[in-house]
Amino acid sequence: MTPADGAEGCDLATDLRQAPLLAALSPAQLARLLQRASQVRLAAGQMLFRQEEPAERFYFLRSGQIRLFRLSSDGGEKIIELIRAGQTFAEALLFMGTGRYPVCAAALTEAQVVSIDAADFAAMLRESPETCFALLGDLSRRLHTMIAEIDSLALLSAQGRVARWLLQNSQAEAPALRLGVTKAVLASRLSIQPETWSRVTRRLVDAGVISVKGERIEVRNRAALQALADEI
């Protein structure tokens, strides 16, 4: 764990402003945050925190990928969210009052995270309504995303979930995407089995809707994919 200071601190301040939550901080607030922040480097697969551990800090992902997941009573894992560089996570603990992480966090790849003092940040929120509203806005956006995902899991078939995920992670003007994670991770995120992911993507390839080469998927027929994503 390393402190954030010097020239590295200047670069870090620029990176931190990528996150909607931290973009609203004044220069003085950001300097205060950096004084109490530290950087953590994680190897692929390394745990950052575990479900039910005392929660005293939240995090900004500077590079790499992090998976947030819950453990079931039988030891199974359910991936809740995949965190990408430029995002904050575990900030909801500022309002929860339980003092414990509701999920586990582990690195999917080599990762660099910034660890932020939650109590001091909460004090800044009390001093700055603008920052507080920025946090609420960010949490509201993520809540709406989660609600949409719950609808998807409840209403869509496995094929519909895969189709919707492909649409959400590609663009009409840039139809190709790189998975960046294993099929097992993606399948868990969509609440399907890895073999189901393989079967659905193979079916989409055969229908000419997508093409697959290694980790690269290209959407060839966006309209057809949209029709599958809209089926209930």
129 and 180, same domain (yes or no): no
Q: What's the whole-number mean pLDDT along residues 18-29?
A: 85
pLDDT of residue 98: 65
58 and 129, same domain (yes or no): yes
36 and 145, same domain (yes or no): yes
pLDDT of residue 179: 86
The percent of residues in the chain predicted with pLDDT above 70, rounded, is 91
Between 29 and 94, the more confident residue is 29
CA distance 62 to 126: 26
Cβ atoms of 64 and 40 closer than 8 Å: no
Other C-beta atoms within 10 Å of 203: how many?
A: 14
105 and 200, same domain (yes or no): no
CA distance 116 to 59: 6
Averaged pLDDT of the chain:
86
For residue 4, pLDDT beyond 60: no
Give me 205's structure tokens: 């390839």
The confidence band for 34, taking pLDDT boundaries of 50, 70 and 90, is: very high
146 and 215, same domain (yes or no): no
Q: What's the whole-number mean pLDDT along residues 199-222?
A: 93
23 and 115, same domain (yes or no): yes
92 and 133, same domain (yes or no): yes
For residue 5, pLDDT beyond 70: no
pLDDT of residue 175: 84
pLDDT of residue 23: 83
CATH, residue 206? 1.10.10.10
For residue 7, pLDDT beyond 50: no
pLDDT of residue 2: 56
pLDDT of residue 153: 67
CA distance 224 to 231: 11
122 and 169, same domain (yes or no): no
CATH, residue 44? 2.60.120.10
Between 55 and 173, the more confident residue is 55
The percent of residues in the chain predicted with pLDDT above 90, rounded, is 44
pLDDT of residue 97: 63
111 and 213, same domain (yes or no): no
CA distance 179 to 187: 12
* Domain extent for 72: 2-153
Which residue among 153, 168, 185 closes a domain? Answer: 153
Full DSSP string of 61-121: EEESEEEEEEE-TTS-EEEEEEEETT-EESTTHHHH-S-B-SSEEEESSSEEEEEEEHHHH
For residue 145, pLDDT beyond 80: no
pLDDT of residue 152: 66
Which residue among 153, 182, 214 closes a domain? Answer: 153
115 and 21, same domain (yes or no): yes
Rounded to the nearest 10 degrees, what angle do helices 129-155 and 158-168 cross at?
140
40 and 149, same domain (yes or no): yes
Which residue among 124, 153, 182 closes a domain? Answer: 153
Number of folded domains in the chain?
A: 2
pLDDT of residue 58: 94
Where is average pLDDT lowest: 85-99, 132-146, 199-213? 132-146
pLDDT of residue 1: 47
Q: In whole angstroms, how far apart are CA 75 and each of 51, 72, 132, 184?
A: 12, 5, 37, 16
135 and 173, same domain (yes or no): no
Q: What's the whole-number mean pLDDT along residues 22-34?
A: 88
* Tens-digit pLDDT profile for residues 113-141: 999 998 888 888 888 787 778 777 777 87
